[in-house]
Amino acid sequence: MGILVPEEYGGAEADYLSYALAIEELARVDAGTAVTVSVHSMICSAILRLGTSEQKERWLPQLAASDMIAGFALTESDAGSDAAALRATAKRRNGGYVVNGRKQWCTSGSYAGVIMGMFRTGDAGSRGVSAFLIEPNLPGISVERVTEKLGIHTSNTCDLAFDGVQIGADALLGEEGAGFGNAMKALTAGRIGIAAQSIGILAACLDESVKFAKERTAFGKPIGAFEGVSFKIAQMAMDLDAARLLNYRAAALADAGQDFGLAASKAKLFASTAARKHAAEALQIHGGYGYTTEFAVERHYRDAKITEIYEGTSEIQQVIIARSLLGRLD
């Protein structure tokens, strides 16, 4: 849980490449656990980048030691891809802020010990948003709904209600009004984690497809002897390598302190598309068994889909990539 956290705060002080490998290996077994760690790590990084020394000392040792999980609260019912449309507010009062509003689909929200939440402190638009570190057990915060989902069942997803929550000025993370940009930076780093999650799912699909194609026989042969099956596996292996190389490049750029946003978008888009596509192929290779809960491919198939949606949908990644080439034409 402290993979990106410096040793002085009890973390592993590892780099982004190590982080990508760790998330990948977790997702190979369980994608829900992988996203829990990925979101948690994204917030550890944001605290490291933006936090005051008091905030770092207060939160990082507990987060690195797994004494608490961190959650991320940006999305609202009418503000998803268009996150700058968020309406929940944090208004200055009594030397601190009073927080009101609703946040939707907060990963680990029911169990988190700290939430990085984005709230409106100023006018409409991206400049009026600030980031805060909030303890979810404060009076006025409640879990309004735990969301039932298609997959990643080991990851908690919930809606949080904030009703007149009094927080101190020391809860502000980064500068007032810089919260939208800071949330976007956190999500950019988070995309390396979601690409890694996709790669882990894809790697598991490949392992299970190879095993099954050797064991299962039809028409007197292992099904892997049929090109209809073996070519699917070849394609899966190639896309797995390509996804890894794209994501390791993004991680290496981040480790070198260079701009990695575009590389992370490409990695996330490619890896999540490949995970969704090949999870369906892995299920197909397993035939009827693949549709049953006896085989893990059924779970990978359900888990893979979310990677195309959260931390920037595939369409938003394409907007980012296209804009890097064309500029803003609208």
Ligand X SMILES: Cc1cc2nc3c(=O)[nH]c(=O)nc-3n(C[C@H](O)[C@H](O)[C@H](O)COP(=O)(O)OP(=O)(O)OC[C@H]3O[C@@H](n4cnc5c(N)ncnc54)[C@H](O)[C@@H]3O)c2cc1C
Return residues touching ligand X (CB under 6 A). 39, 72-75, 80-81, 105-107, 149, 157, 306, 309-310, 313, 315-316, 319
- Please tell me the distance from the alpha carbon of residue 122 to that of residue 198, in angstroms, as a whole number: 37
- Please tell me the distance from the alpha carbon of residue 142 to that of residue 304, in angstroms, as a whole number: 30
- Toward ligand X, which CB reaches closer, 80 or 122? 80
Strands 141-146 and 89-93: unpaired
**311 assigned to active site:** yes
CB of 230 to ligand X, least distance (A): 34
The SS3 call for residue 34 is helix
- Please tell me the distance from the alpha carbon of residue 127 to that of residue 124, in angstroms, as a whole number: 8
CB of 318 to ligand X, least distance (A): 7
- Residue type at position 173: L
- Toward ligand X, which CB reaches closer, 157 or 247? 157
Per-residue buried b or exposed e for 49-61, using 16+ beta carbons within 10 Å of the residue's own CB: ebbeeebbebbbb
- Residue type at position 113: G
Please compute, for residue 278, the number of CA atoms within 13 A of its CA located in the half-sphere on the CB side. Answer: 32
- Toward ligand X, which CB reaches closer, 39 or 251? 39
CB of 84 to ligand X, least distance (A): 12
- Toward ligand X, which CB reaches closer, 71 or 224? 71
CB of 44 to ligand X, least distance (A): 14
Strands 129-134 and 172-173: antiparallel
Helices and strands of the chain, counted as H and E runs: 9, 10
256 C-beta neighbours (distance < 10 Å), count: 11
Find the length of the chain.
330
Among residues 76, 281, 308, 311, which one is catalytic? 311
- Residue type at position 77: S
Question: H or E element: which one contains 133?
Answer: strand 129-134
- Please tell me the distance from the alpha carbon of residue 44 to that of residue 157, in angstroms, as a whole number: 19
CB of 313 to ligand X, least distance (A): 3
Locate the DSSP E strands across 259-304: none
- Toward ligand X, which CB reaches closer, 184 or 242? 184
**Nearest residue to ligand X on Cβ basis:** 80
Residue showing tokens 């990085």: 116
Q: CA 267, 69, 122 angle in degrees (round to 5)?
A: 75
- Toward ligand X, which CB reaches closer, 98 or 319? 319
CB of 234 to ligand X, least distance (A): 30
CB of 70 to ligand X, least distance (A): 10
- Toward ligand X, which CB reaches closer, 178 or 233? 178
Query: 15 is written with which tokens?
Result: 């780099």
Catalytic annotation, residues: 311
